[in-house]
Structure 1
Amino acid sequence: MLNPTWLKTFVTLVDTGHFTKTAEKLFMTQPGVSQHINKLEKACGQALIQRDKKSFDLTEQGLLVYQYAEQLVKNEHELLEQLGFDNPFVGHCRLACSGALALILYPKLLEIQVAHSQLIVQLKAAPNHQILHEIQNGITDLGIVTDVPNSSLFDIQEIGREQLCLVLPAKVEIEDDSGDLLTKLGLINHPDAKHYLSLYFEQSHESDFSHLSIEQLPVAGYVNQISQILEPVAKGLGFTVLPKSAVDMFQDPQCLKVFQPQKPVIETLYRVKKRNRVLPARFETVISTLQGHFDNLSC
């Protein structure tokens, strides 16, 4: 890398056209200016000026170095301007949440992007552990998870709550032992199914579920596309567990039956980012939209 001090001396010399004026402007001696130019020429391996007594002309190589140095100055000015400029409607926002939540939130985030075309929202659907890993490693900026992570690694804020639904085919009859019914039907598995199911068994206070082992439940199918998870349930092929908002969006609700537990099962959602990281102003626009959604749920 060329010495920036030598480049500055060279640019000043070209701009002033005089060694003495350069020395005065840079608070140097004239021999000091000559020394910088000589060192720069040696570093470049080329003569940069053609000396003629007290005047000089730029060589072709000197013109290239001058243009290069000018571009460096311009780049530095632009960088400093960008560092001091934090537009709430410009830049990329990388977010991650569960697939079910992504299905609900993405249309709302798209509305932001339609209103502010330079605000680019990148939303990834992923399980809790992957979201936390990517936040910690700088791959994702902001996440929504359902388990409280390590507070020494993350800044955590409760953002809202949502009901979980155990969804059955509409044609089934709820038996005396609903646990046996689930075993007969089999689980329509998806990336968050076991997490949701463990919460459901824990919070619902249904004695029929107490003897069930999630790992031993038969699996009747697997879908990783959130919009398709309820399709096999609607066709009578199994049961699953999803947030109520995802169930409400299904296009054929008459084909589904939502089990009514003794106690509603509520999932708490947490907004997380890397500990002590200050997010740019554009994230306030996104966070406000997310919070608005969960505030409406609680109304």
Structure 2
Amino acid sequence: MINTLWLRTFCTLAEIKHFTRTAEALHMTQSGVSQHIQKLEEQLETQLLQRERPKFTLTEAGQRLYHEGQRILTSLSNLNYLVTDDPSDAGCIRMLSPGSVGLRLYPQLLALQQQYPKLHLDYRFAPNSAIEQALTDAHAELALMSAKPRLAEIHYEAIASEALLLVTPAAITTPTWQTLLDLGFIDHPDGQHYADALLSANYPEFQHSAQFRKNGFSNQIALLLQPVSMGLGFTVLPAYAVSAFSEPCRIRAHHLANPIEQQLYLCSHQQKVLPNRYHTVITRIKQALYDTSP
């Protein structure tokens, strides 16, 4: 393997074309420059300079080494920059969250990207179980979860909470247990998790979500309330998702006697150090969620 110190000396000499001035540029002695060139020739077993004292010219091998050496030295310099440079306002952000909080955060993070155009946002909606696995498999660096992570390798911090709401068609003013049985359940990836939390605290008859006839399922948070608005069933959703529905007059969100708020956890992998750009995003996330109005 070529010694990069010798290679740098050779390329500088080939560019300056003078031993004394090369020594001055590299803060070396002239004999030190000569030794580097000699060692490089010995290692490569070829002549690099045609010496015509006090001048010299590059041999054909020397010309090739100079052009390739410059490319290598430039790459090494760029590598050092890439490894050590860690800007707070540039680079790709890969993150996940449940759809509800995503509906609130995504516009905020797009505004952040407008502020810092070199930030690139890769934001995906997913249920809690998929989010935890994505962090473990390094498919994302940052996530929000509405359930406490189960895996030991996930670092988490509770940063906010959002209310769970029972949502029915607008005509339902008093959602009795029988009313819910008659309506049927519109399910979604976190439907069982949300229903267990809210309904068990407010209906003594509730045991599990399978007690309800399933009248539909959607994994698209923006479409989930459409069947509810058409009278096809009820569902349980966080407040952020309910407030984002485009036809609020066609649904009714019920604040039950025993309100339930779910924690939102900011999550990352325990063994990974997040680059500075992620801390910029985390600051914006906390600002957005501390303003609790949906």
The two structures have a TM-score, normalised by structure 2, of 0.84
- Number of aligned pairs? 289
Separation (CA, whole Å) in 2 of partners of 1:83 and 1:171: 60
Separation (CA, whole Å) in 2 of partners of 1:35 and 1:232: 79
- Name 1:188's counterpart in structure 2: 186
- Residue 188 of structure 1 contacts residue 239 of structure 1 at CA under 8 Å; is this kept in 2? yes
Separation (CA, whole Å) in 2 of partners of 1:29 and 1:272: 54
- Residue 9 of structure 1 contacts residue 37 of structure 1 at CA under 8 Å; is this kept in 2? no
Residue 19 of structure 1 deviates from its aligned partner by 7.9
SS at match of 2:284: helix
Where structure 1 has 5 or more consecutive residues not aligned to the other structure, the ranges are none
Taking structure 1 as reference, are residues 27 and 84 closer, same or farther at Cα in structure 2, changes over 3 Å only?
farther
Q: Deviations over 1:222-271 (max 9, x none)?
A: 22221111011100111111111211121221211223422001111111
- Name 1:295's counterpart in structure 2: 290
SS at match of 1:108: helix
Q: Is 1:34 the equivalent of 2:38?
A: yes
Separation (CA, whole Å) in 1 of partners of 2:196 and 2:80: 51
Q: Is 1:281 the equivalent of 2:276?
A: yes
- Residue 163 of structure 2 contacts residue 239 of structure 2 at CA under 8 Å; is this kept in 1? yes
- Residue 94 of structure 1 contacts residue 121 of structure 1 at CA under 8 Å; is this kept in 2? yes
Q: Deviations over 1:2-29 (max 9, x none)?
A: 553553453255356578987x649759
Separation (CA, whole Å) in 2 of partners of 1:91 and 1:32: 40
Q: Is 1:239 the equivalent of 2:234?
A: yes
Separation (CA, whole Å) in 2 of partners of 1:126 and 1:155: 18
Residue 89 of structure 1 deviates from its aligned partner by 1.5
- Name 2:72's counterpart in structure 1: 72
- Name 1:122's counterpart in structure 2: 122
Q: Is 1:255 the equivalent of 2:250?
A: yes
Show the 5 A alignment for 1:149-160: 149-150=149-150, 152-160=152-160
SS at match of 2:75: helix
The two structures have a TM-score, normalised by structure 1, of 0.82
Show the 5 A alignment for 1:127-138: 127-138=127-138
1:277 counterpart letter in structure 2:
K
Q: Deviations over 1:102-140 (max 9, x none)?
A: 111111111111111112222111122222222233221
- Residue 144 of structure 2 contacts residue 266 of structure 2 at CA under 8 Å; is this kept in 1? yes
Show the 5 A alignment for 1:75-114: 75-114=75-114
- Name 1:199's counterpart in structure 2: 197
Residue 162 of structure 1 deviates from its aligned partner by 0.3
Taking structure 1 as reference, are residues 221 and 151 closer, same or farther at Cα in structure 2, changes over 3 Å only?
closer
One of 213, 223, 241 as aligned partner of 1:228: 223
- Residue 186 of structure 1 contacts residue 239 of structure 1 at CA under 8 Å; is this kept in 2? yes
- Residue 167 of structure 2 contacts residue 237 of structure 2 at CA under 8 Å; is this kept in 1? yes
Separation (CA, whole Å) in 2 of partners of 1:70 and 1:218: 71
CA RMSD in angstroms comes to: 3.1
